């Protein structure tokens, strides 16, 4: 049976997949994100935020796909696996923001974001490890989910209280829609799954490109 390997430590991404009937096997990548983006810039290809998340998602998926997954706990057959990597950033005023460096950075970020809107970009990359002779596609495909996020006009004490929880420090853009940050997002335009960290509709499309209907991966 084909398995989905998630190249991410994000509990939100794993929970999202599980809520959709999938049971991913987690194998976290070792990609140095700053080094990947710096290398792209040095090559004269400084990526915009949407390109950056796709580049990082590709690097994460390929990093895990290149490993020997035979002994990965929970993976019944490494030769019948699909690897998906993701990365998210918030674009605000043309700049890309990942996870805040520290609490002070998170506070400053929220003071810029409050009462405004930004675009949350989530890159996805899928690698098909199934042998072609056994029906695999040998494919490696990707795409980006971009969603406009409108933020509430938070008071300073609300920002301080939210940052004190620690949640903003662990997520791209310094906010969540599925956690404590939910009340601070007034509306979104686009796929809310992508804001959580993984677009289920886009994943379905990528799986279809390699010949795997998403429903065939539902838990039995």
In the chain, what are the domain boundaries?
Answer: 3-217
Cα 81 to Cα 2: distance, rounded to the nearest angstrom: 5
Highest mean pLDDT among 34-48, 71-85, 193-207: 193-207
Closest CA to 113 of 144, 91, 145: 91
Cα 22 to Cα 198: distance, rounded to the nearest angstrom: 13
Q: How confident is the model at residue 220 (pLDDT cuts 50, 70, 90)?
A: confident
Per-chain mean pLDDT for the chain: 95
Closest CA to 122 of 214, 49, 15: 49
pLDDT in tens, 23-61: 999 999 999 999 999 898 887 777 899 999 999 999 999
pLDDT at 44: 76
Cα 128 to Cα 146: distance, rounded to the nearest angstrom: 24
pLDDT in tens, 79-110: 899 999 999 999 999 899 999 999 999 999 99
Closest CA to 126 of 176, 65, 53: 65
pLDDT in tens, 145-170: 999 999 999 999 999 999 999 999 99
Question: What residues act catalytically?
Answer: 87
Distance of alpha carbon 49 from the chain centroid: 13
To the question of domain 3-217 being in CATH 3.40.630.180, the answer is: no
Cα 187 to Cα 144: distance, rounded to the nearest angstrom: 20
48-70 in b/e form (b: 16+ CB < 10 A) is: ebbbbbbbbbbbbbbbbbeeebe
Listed as own residue / partner, the contacts of 155-160 with beta carbons closer than 8 Å and 24 or more positions apart are: 156/111, 158/184, 159/107, 159/110, 159/111, 159/114, 160/107
């Amino acid at each position: 049976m084909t398995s989905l390997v998630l190249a991410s430590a994000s509990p939100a991404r794993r929970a999202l997949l599980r809520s959709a009937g999938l049971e991913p096997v987690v194998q976290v990548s070792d990609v140095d994100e700053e080094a990947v983006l710096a290398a792209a810039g040095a090559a004269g290809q400084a990526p915009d935020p949407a390109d950056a998340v796709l580049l990082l998602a590709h690097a994460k998926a390929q990093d895990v796909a290149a490993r020997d997954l035979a002994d990965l706990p929970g993976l019944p057959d490494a030769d019948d696996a699909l690897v998906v990597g993701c990365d998210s950033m918030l674009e605000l005023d043309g700049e890309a923001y990942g996870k805040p460096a520290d609490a002070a950075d998170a506070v400053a970020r929220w003071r810029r974001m409050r009462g405004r809107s930004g675009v949350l970009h989530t890159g996805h990359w899928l690698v098909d490890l199934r042998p072609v002779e056994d029906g695999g596609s040998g494919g490696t495909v990707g795409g980006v989910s971009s969603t406009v996020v409108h933020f509430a006009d938070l008071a300073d004490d609300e920002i301080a209280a939210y940052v004190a929880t620690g949640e903003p420090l662990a997520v791209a853009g310094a906010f969540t829609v599925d956690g404590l940050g939910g009340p601070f997002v007034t509306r979104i335009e686009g796929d809310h799954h992508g804001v959580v960290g993984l677009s289920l509709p886009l994943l379905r499309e990528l799986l279809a490109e390699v010949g795997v209907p998403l429903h065939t991966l539902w838990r039995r």
